[in-house]
């Protein structure tokens, strides 16, 4: 049974409801709109005051640690421009008022909700006594109606509306409940740690993940914190996810879920989809969890309860719910009968939460679309079954609507394709459908997010230009770029030496390929198209500067000039820039500030740039690579570039953007530069057969190397004291590669992945640090007998990892403690949360030095720093053997 007026909203519901009815309102709020400070409480009673708080949060008149209270219901209908609070450390008391029709429109952006972060690892921030009615939240990873990330408390709160995201960790109240600190406040003493809590709350919101990511739940998407308590709460909205999907929690990795009820009408997805919680690990606990027995879900967990039991106070009292001060029974008339349901005290009448009929049906079918133009979708149903057996549909009703349609909206038609036109390019639309079988039996609702095709462009302007290192960087280069115009098919480079009196440009033709791409973080949708161009230039002179421009011979549109210098020979000095894990999403401010500093301070001496992987958070998302280039393009225009493949990177975009050589696998290759031989491995190719194949290739490759220094680079750090040290894939790398690096006498292993600075000499898994002296302010090691392993932190601000404790007996080639190797995570409770880059210098007299610089950008001032750049670590290796002589 379904109560009249109950709305199940999908993405865009609020915007759709007001399209054509109300023009979106915006406010040029002034200081007069600031919340009134009354007896130490900041009072909010108007939309203007709420917008002022969202836009000025953290200022003196709206502090992060303030106590905020609603003094009236606030209707945000038709109002745009709300920005989620940043890290909230105070108390938000709704005083049993509501915020209705709030639009939070940040598709593809990570950490989205009414608050981005509620609390911190040692701050028990609170939101209580608040209703969010018909909220419309659109985000990327870690999206929730109330909080993107939750460390604090959500109590006496309920939500209706929709939460839709394009990536992992999506919930009707909270997106993710993390274990690590957010990066602004030091980790607490465990006795003072915040306890992430959801208590006496519920969500009727439609939770939807439109990509192909994990962890979607009616209350919370992903729970990682062992202190988490989710109790005395329920969810009753549809949950539509991809993997690890549950009516209450998607992925319960740790913490406790107890005394709660999954009353959702439908929970759908691809794998690990269950009625109450998608997945629970041994560290997590689900106690006294109930689930409606009639729910449409692939699998069932929790104790089943009937419709009548969901409407009975006895059910909730048996779970220990407080019906004296927290909960009450309210009544509604549904299908002519009076029924009861649980509601929170203090708010007055609340929506009837249960939908027992709209989706329930043994009839299943799929909804698919053909994208014929950028404004047209042809939608049809297929794969019809009835109670698992193939069935034949006679009629179908298909409706495009962000909200679930009512039966009055149905127009039954014979089964067949239906055309919907006048749509916006590269836009998600939600389609709902019902079918009638030939015998007259009617299905429940099914829905699917479908996307229109991207719009085409005739813009021929070259973008994302790079000159990449090849297997012979002294004499060849690969120059790559892209255009929006997919019709360009005459790519060329005009290139000239700068050491001659008159620049004489030579034209070299190349190749191009058109490729559909994911512009957003939604891996399920190819919502863009690019024309990728590559020109290989050979016959270059070693140690020579060249300038070049790229374009199309037919279009006649050329880029600004870039430059690079070919590789020096042996017995010549050179240096390069090394950074790792910028892992940009939609915000690259930290990465830009870091790279700008590197260019200003050392740019003139860099021969090339080496990135140790994870350029973006979503390696399949061209839109995030756009953001990466925003920070990297200045350096890319000045010198050659190479990157290894990180676990977040995807070859489907690395290859067209950079066109690195491939050997046994993609992105496995080597090159010589001066007195160093570099071997690039792919740590993402990490099953035993793939690791062994790379070992055999590396042995053959190093047998030909005659340079003083042997440098291996790949993404995943094998030796660091932080989060990944006990990961299964890292242990395989140590098992297969560590003995080989020692056997082949590798000098330096340059890596990333751990987002913290670590360096040390390791042999047999243990400390092999030789005696050191000081030279010119550097720690000097002569002829070390073990490889130097280094990861130099992170070039961005996506995350940081702290030290962990682990059992060394469970792993290969690993010591019980890495205090000797770890630099930036000096205790188990703190972690350096700065940006970093390194200058690596190789000199003809047998010296290799690595100077690492750190800084902390100012998120409120892109031109400033919270911590000014400083020299964080400086190390030098000295090989007393002259180049070309036998190695140690």
pLDDT at 774: 93
Mean pLDDT, rounded, for 243-258:
96
Per-residue confidence (pLDDT) for residue 162, from 0 to 100: 93
Do the beta carbons of residue 264 and residue 275 sit within 8 Å? yes
- Is 95 found in the same domain as 154? yes
The mean pLDDT value of the chain amounts to: 89
Rounded Cα gap, residues 666 and 466, in angstroms:
19
| Percentage of the chain exceeding pLDDT 70 | 93
Each residue of 280-316: pLDDT tens digit? 988 899 999 999 999 988 899 999 999 999 999 999 9
What pLDDT is attached to residue 46? 95
- Considering the domain architecture, whether residues 166 and 223 belong to the same structural domain is answered as yes
Residue 407: partners with Cβ closer than 8 Å, 6 or more residues away: none
Q: Are residues 314 and 369 in the same domain?
A: no
Query: Could you give the percent of the chain with pLDDT greater than 90?
Result: 71
Give mean pLDDT, residues 778-806: 90
Give the tens place of pLDDT for each residue, 194-212: 899 999 999 999 999 877 7
Asked if pLDDT for residue 25 goes beyond 50, the answer is: no
Same domain, 291 and 389: no
> Over 80: is that where the pLDDT of 514 sits?
yes
- The mean-pLDDT minimum among 226-235, 401-410, 664-673 falls in 401-410
User: Among 119-123, 596-600, 757-761, which stretch is predicted with the lowest mean pLDDT?
Assistant: 119-123
Q: Which residue among 431, 451, 471 closes a domain?
A: 451
Domain carrying residue 414: 363-451
Has residue 626 been placed in a domain? yes
- pLDDT at residue 887 in the model: 46
Number of structural domains in the chain? 3
Closest of 429, 621, 616 to residue 516, by C-alpha: 621
Interval 693-730: pLDDT, tens = 999 999 999 999 999 999 999 999 999 878 788 888 99
pLDDT tens track for 413-437 = 999 999 999 998 877 788 889 999 9
Confidence of residue 11 (pLDDT cuts 50, 70, 90): very low
- Considering 451, 484, 500, which residue would you say is the last residue of a domain? 451
24: CATH: 2.160.20.110
Higher pLDDT: 673 or 355? It is 673
Q: Output the pLDDT for position 21.
A: 27
Residue 17 has pLDDT above 80, yes or no: no
Burial of 663 (0-12, 13-18, 19+ CB in 10 A): middle
Mean pLDDT of 529-555: 96
User: Which of the pair, 14 or 392, is modelled with greater confidence?
Assistant: 392
pLDDT band, very low/low/confident/very high, at 10 (cuts 50, 70, 90): very low
**CA-CA distance, 597 to 619, in Å (whole number)?**
25
Cα-Cα-Cα-Cα torsion 507, 509, 513, 519, nearest 10 degrees, comes to -10
The confidence score (pLDDT) of residue 275 equals 96
- Across 738-767, average pLDDT: 95
Q: How far is it, in rounded angstroms, from Cα 156 to Cα 132?
A: 11
**Together in a domain, 271 and 393:** no
Q: Identify whether residues 290 and 410 lie together within a single domain.
A: no
Rounded Cα gap, residues 88 and 511, in angstroms: 51
Q: So what's the pLDDT on residue 829?
A: 53
* Residue 10 or residue 379, greater confidence: 379
50 part of a folded domain: yes
What angle in degrees, to the nearest 10, is found between the helix axes of 728-743 and 688-703? 20
Residue 343 within a domain: no
Question: Would you state the pLDDT for residue 210?
Answer: 78
Confidence band of 244 (pLDDT split at 50, 70, 90) = very high
**CA–CA distance, 834 with 797 (Å, rounded to integer):** 7
* 338 found inside a domain: no
Per-residue pLDDT at 418: 95
- Lowest pLDDT segment from 431-440, 513-522, 604-613, 655-664: 513-522
Asked if residues 711 and 840 have their Cβ atoms less than 8 Å apart, the reply is no
User: Do 311 and 376 share a structural domain?
Assistant: no
pLDDT for residue 187:
45
Confidence at residue 28, expressed as pLDDT on a 0 to 100 scale: 54
d(CA 430, CA 448): 6
Residues 368 and 317 in one domain: no
pLDDT at 508 over 60: yes
Count Cβ atoms within 10 A of the Cβ of residue 859 and give its class: 0-12 exposed, 13-18 middle, 19 or more buried. middle
What was the pLDDT predicted at 87? 87
Distance CA 445, CA 403 (A): 12
Q: What is the pLDDT of residues 325-339, one digit of tens each?
A: 999 999 999 888 999
Is it the case that residue 747 has pLDDT exceeding 90? Answer: yes
User: Does one domain contain both 239 and 118?
Assistant: yes
Query: How confident is the model over 660-688, as a mean pLDDT?
Result: 95
Same domain, 316 and 389: no
The per-residue pLDDT for 85 is 83
Determine, yes or no, domain membership for 327: no
Same domain, 645 and 573: yes
Domain closes at, from 418, 433, 451 = 451
Strands (E), 697-819: 709-716, 748-752, 757-763, 766-767, 772-775, 778-782, 788-792
In CATH, what number is assigned to the domain containing residue 423? Answer: 2.60.40.10
Asked if residue 499 is part of any domain, the answer here is no
Q: What ranges in 706-785 are assigned the alpha helix state H?
A: 728-743
The confidence score (pLDDT) of residue 180 equals: 57
Q: Which band of pLDDT confidence, cut at 50, 70 and 90, is reported for residue 149?
A: very high
pLDDT-based confidence at residue 888 (cuts at 50, 70, 90): very low
């Amino acid at each position: 049974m379904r109560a009249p007026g109950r709305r199940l909203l999908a993405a865009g519901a609020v915007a759709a409801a007001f399209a054509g009815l109300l023009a979106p309102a915006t406010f040029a709020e002034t200081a007069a709109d600031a919340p009134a400070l009354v007896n130490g409480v900041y009072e909010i009673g108007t939309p203007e005051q709420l917008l002022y708080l969202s836009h000025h949060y953290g200022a003196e008149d709206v502090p992060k640690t303030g106590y905020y209270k609603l003094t009236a219901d606030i209707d945000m209908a038709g109002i745009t421009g709300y920005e989620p609070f940043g890290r909230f450390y105070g108390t938000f008391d709704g005083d049993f008022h509501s915020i209705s029709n709030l639009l939070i429109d940040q598709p593809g952006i990570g950490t989205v909700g009414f608050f981005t972060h509620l609390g911190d690892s040692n701050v028990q921030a609170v939101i209580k006594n608040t209703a969010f009615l018909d909220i419309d939240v659109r985000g990327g990873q870690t999206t929730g109606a109330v909080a993107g990330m939750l460390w604090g408390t959500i109590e006496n709160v309920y939500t209706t509306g929709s939460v839709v995201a394009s990536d992992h960790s999506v919930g009707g109240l909270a997106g993710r409940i993390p274990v690590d600190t957010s990066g602004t406040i030091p980790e607490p003493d465990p006795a003072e740690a915040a306890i992430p809590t959801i208590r006496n709350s519920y969500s009727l919101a439609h939770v939807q993940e439109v990509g192909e990511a994990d962890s979607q739940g009616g209350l919370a998407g992903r729970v990682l914190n062992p202190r988490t308590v989710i109790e005395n709460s329920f969810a009753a909205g549809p949950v539509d996810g991809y993997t690890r999907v549950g009516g209450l929690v998607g992925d319960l990795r740790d913490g406790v879920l107890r005394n709660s009820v999954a009353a959702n009408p439908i929970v759908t997805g691809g794998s690990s989809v269950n009625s109450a919680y998608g997945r629970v690990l041994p560290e997590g606990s689900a106690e006294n969890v109930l689930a409606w027995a009639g729910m449409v879900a692939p699998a069932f967990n929790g104790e089943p309860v009937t419709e009548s039991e969901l409407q009975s106070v006895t059910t909730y009292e048996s779970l220990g719910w407080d019906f004296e001060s927290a909960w009450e029974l309210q009544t509604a008339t549904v299908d002519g009968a009076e029924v009861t349901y649980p509601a929170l005290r203090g708010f007055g009448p609340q929506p009837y939460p249960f939908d027992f009929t709209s989706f329930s049906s043994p009839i299943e079918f799929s909804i698919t679309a053909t994208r014929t133009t950028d404004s047209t979708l042809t939608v049809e149903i297929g794969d019809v079954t009835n109670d698992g057996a193939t069935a034949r549909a006679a009629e179908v009703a298909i409706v495009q609507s962000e909200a679930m349609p009512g039966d009055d909206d149905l127009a039954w038609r014979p089964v067949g394709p239906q055309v919907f036109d006048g749509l916006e390019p590269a836009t998600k639309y939600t389609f709902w459908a019902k079918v009638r079988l030939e015998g007259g039996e009617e299905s429940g609702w099914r829905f699917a997010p479908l996307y229109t095709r991207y719009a085409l462009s005739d813009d021929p302007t070259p973008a994302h230009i790079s000159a990449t290192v090849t297997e012979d960087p002294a004499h060849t280069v690969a120059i790559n770029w892209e255009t929006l115009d997919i019709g360009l098919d005459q790519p060329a480079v005009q290139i000239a030496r700068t050491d001659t009196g008159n620049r004489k440009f030579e034209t070299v033709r190349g190749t191009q390929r058109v490729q559909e791409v994911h512009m957003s973080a939604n891996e399920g949708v190819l919502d863009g198209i690019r024309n990728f161009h590559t020109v290989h230039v050979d016959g270059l002179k070693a140690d020579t500067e060249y300038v070049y421009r790229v374009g199309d011979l037919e279009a006649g549109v050329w880029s600004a000039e870039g430059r690079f210098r070919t590789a020096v020979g042996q017995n010549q000095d050179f240096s390069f820039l090394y950074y790792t894990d910028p892992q940009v999403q939609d915000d690259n401010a930290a990465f830009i500030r870091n790279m700008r500093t590197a260019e200003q301070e050392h740019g003139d001496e860099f021969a090339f740039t080496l990135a140790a992987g994870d350029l973006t958070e979503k390696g399949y998302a061209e839109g995030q690579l756009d953001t990466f280039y925003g920070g990297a393009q200045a350096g890319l225009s000045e010198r050659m570039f190479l990157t290894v493949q990180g676990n977040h990177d995807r070859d489907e975009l690395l290859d067209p953007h950079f066109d690195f050589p491939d050997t046994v696998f993609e992105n496995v290759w080597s090159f010589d530069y001066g007195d160093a031989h570099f071997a690039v491995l792919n740590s993402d190719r990490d099953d035993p057969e793939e690791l062994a194949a790379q070992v055999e290739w590396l042995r053959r490759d190093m047998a030909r190397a005659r340079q003083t220094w042997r440098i291996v680079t790949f993404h995943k750090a094998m030796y660091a004291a932080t989060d990944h040290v006990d990961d299964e894939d890292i242990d395989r790398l140590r098992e297969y590669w560590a003995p080989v690096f020692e056997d082949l006498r590798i000098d330096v292993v340059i890596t990333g992945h751990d987002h913290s600075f670590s360096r040390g000499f390791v042999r047999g898994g243990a400390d092999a640090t030789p005696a050191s002296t000081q030279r010119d302010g550097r720690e000097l090691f002569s002829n070390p007998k073990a490889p130097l392993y280094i990861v130099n932190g992170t070039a961005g601000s996506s995350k940081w990892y702290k030290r962990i404790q682990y059992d060394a007996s469970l792993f290969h080639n690993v010591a019980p403690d890495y205090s000797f190797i770890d630099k930036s995570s000096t205790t188990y409770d703190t972690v350096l949360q700065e940006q970093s880059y390194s200058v690596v210098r190789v000199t003809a007299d047998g010296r290799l030095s690595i100077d690492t610089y750190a800084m902390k950008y100012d998120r409120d001032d892109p031109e400033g720093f919270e911590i000014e750049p400083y020299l964080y670590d400086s190390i030098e290796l000295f090989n007393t053997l002259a180049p070309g002589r036998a190695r140690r």
